[in-house]
């Protein structure tokens, strides 16, 4: 008697979201089975790696990571281009850190000009995360959406307290939004309901369920994301069928295990190897739980993850 692999039956499907346009266009989502379960359903669009770029020199990066970017710290355009041409980034995640009143208080107009400049200089999709009070982020993204109309930029982020301004900007200028939630399926659903009731199309929303790295609560992240995917695919819950983005790089590279030197903790081994492993394992956990977009920083970790994705698909 031949062996039959037991298979789940899926009634739902993840929405397909378009990022970028023309030469930078790429699709995310669209899967009709759990992550990497190609034997059970269609997986039309592979997860993509977005590499972090900052609009000002970041602080607190260990030398084992900083050495790859120190020559382009002062120019987000060159930094973005380097991530694509040398490190194989499939998207750029631009962090507008200088919009924070405590880090320069860059105006919405100036931030929008920079975003437009970066977007026009690359042939990959652009993802944005603002910084500062929610009201400031909303105003920045409103101006960004206006300056980069019809570009399918993925803008972050919205929460229940500030979703109207940013969602209206996305609708008016044909861009996408990141819906942030604190690892709570019900809050994620509620925010998606509010956005769609306002008139934003479901295929313009990506969920950020929040992330943490290995050793810092990643098990809870995995569980929450798994519940979102099961609700979307098996229970056919329309309000959980948005693709997922994990802004995990910022969580991985702030922990002491990737920053403390071998001299301080000789038992932990080589600092750079430690950071590469920490990022790679953390990212793989998120991909296995359903991430469609993942942010990363170390070029060698990016290379490893791309190889793993290729093997699994």
pLDDT at position 160 is: 87
Percent of the chain surpassing pLDDT 70: 100
Please give the span between the terminal C-alpha atoms of the chain, in angstroms, as a whole number.
29
**Domain spans in the chain, listed from the N-terminal domain onward:** 16-29+46-312
* Residues 207, 188 contacting (CB under 8 angstroms): yes
Which of 114, 81, 116 is closest to 97 using CA atoms? 114
* Residues 144, 178 contacting (CB under 8 angstroms): no
pLDDT at position 6 is: 84
Confidence check: pLDDT of 1 > 70 = no
Tokens found for residue 40 = 């059970």
Confidence check: pLDDT of 203 > 80 = yes
Provide CATH code, domain 16-29+46-312: 3.20.20.20
Alpha carbon separation from 75 to 80, 82, 121 (Å, rounded): 9, 11, 12
Q: What does the pLDDT look like over 40-93, one tens digit per residue?
A: 999 999 999 999 999 999 988 999 999 999 999 999 999 999 999 999 999 999
| Dihedral sign, Cα of residue 226, residue 229, residue 174, residue 78 | positive
* Residues 8, 264 contacting (CB under 8 angstroms): no
Q: What is the pTM of this model?
A: 0.96
Q: What does the pLDDT look like over 26-38, one tens digit per residue?
A: 999 999 999 999 9
Report the number of secondary-structure helices (H) and strands (E) in the chain: 10, 10
Q: What does the pLDDT look like over 285-302, one tens digit per residue?
A: 999 999 999 999 999 999
């Amino acid at each position: 008697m031949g062996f039959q692999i037991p298979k789940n039956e899926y009634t739902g499907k993840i929405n397909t979201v378009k990022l970028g346009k023309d030469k930078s266009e790429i699709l995310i989502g669209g899967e009709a089975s759990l992550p990497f379960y190609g034997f059970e359903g269609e997986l039309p669009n592979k997860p993509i790696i977005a590499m972090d770029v900052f609009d000002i020199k970041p602080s607190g990066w260990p030398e084992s990571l900083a050495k790859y970017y120190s020559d382009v710290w002062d120019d987000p355009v060159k930094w973005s281009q380097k991530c694509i041409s040398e490190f194989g980034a499939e998207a750029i995640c631009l962090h507008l850190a200088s919009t924070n009143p405590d880090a320069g208080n860059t105006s919405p107009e100036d931030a929008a000009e920079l975003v437009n400049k970066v977007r026009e200089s690359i042939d990959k999709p652009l993802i944005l995360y603002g910084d500062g009070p929610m009201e400031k982020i909303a105003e920045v993204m409103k101006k960004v959406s206006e300056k980069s109309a019809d570009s399918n930029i993925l803008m972050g982020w919205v929460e229940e307290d500030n979703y109207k301004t940013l969602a209206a900007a996305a609708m008016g200028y044909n861009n996408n939004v990141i819906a942030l939630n604190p690892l709570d399926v019900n809050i994620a659903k509620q925010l998606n309901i509010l956005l769609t009731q306002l008139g934003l199309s479901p295929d313009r929303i990506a969920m950020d369920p929040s992330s943490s790295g290995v050793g810092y609560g990643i098990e809870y992240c995995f569980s929450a994301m798994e519940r979102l995917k099961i609700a979307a695919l098996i229970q056919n819950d329309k309000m959980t069928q948005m693709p997922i983005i994990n802004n995990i790089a910022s969580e991985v590279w702030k922990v002491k295990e990737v920053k403390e030197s071998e001299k301080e903790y000789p038992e932990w081994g080589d600092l750079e190897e430690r950071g590469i492993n920490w990022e790679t394992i953390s990212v793989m956990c998120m991909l296995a739980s359903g991430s469609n977009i993942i942010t990363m920083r170390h070029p060698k970790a990016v290379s490893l993850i791309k190889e793993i994705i290729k093997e699994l698909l």
